[in-house]
Structure 1
């Protein structure tokens, strides 16, 4: 059974794409292209699930909110 995870993608100053999975603590990676990032994030998710004993996380990503201060 496939599971879906949310991936937050940002781009750093050097042009690298950085992906993070909020449901899995410490699950992140980076790449030069979006295609490469998506392949790497899938590998990172599998590794994180393996490290957690394939437990489904109990938290769910809700959304992103911008705040001006």
Structure 2
């Protein structure tokens, strides 16, 4: 299991290095963008989806 974890970590780091190079940024910049901008944005979107689903479920339950 440890070998799998190391392989996944290495693949993620390699992806970030290549993405940073494509964007003309450093690995540190790409990593900071992912953790301080992208991850919170995705979390907010997912929370909005969950809230929307809760509203839809409530409406469906009232129809019964």
Q: What range is the shorter-chain TM-score in?
A: 0.3 to 0.5
Higher strand share: 1
User: Which protein has greater RCO, CA pairs closer than 8 Å, 6+ apart?
Assistant: 1
Q: TM-score, normalised by structure 2?
A: 0.41
Higher helix share: 2
Q: TM-score, normalised by structure 1?
A: 0.38
Larger radius of gyration: 2
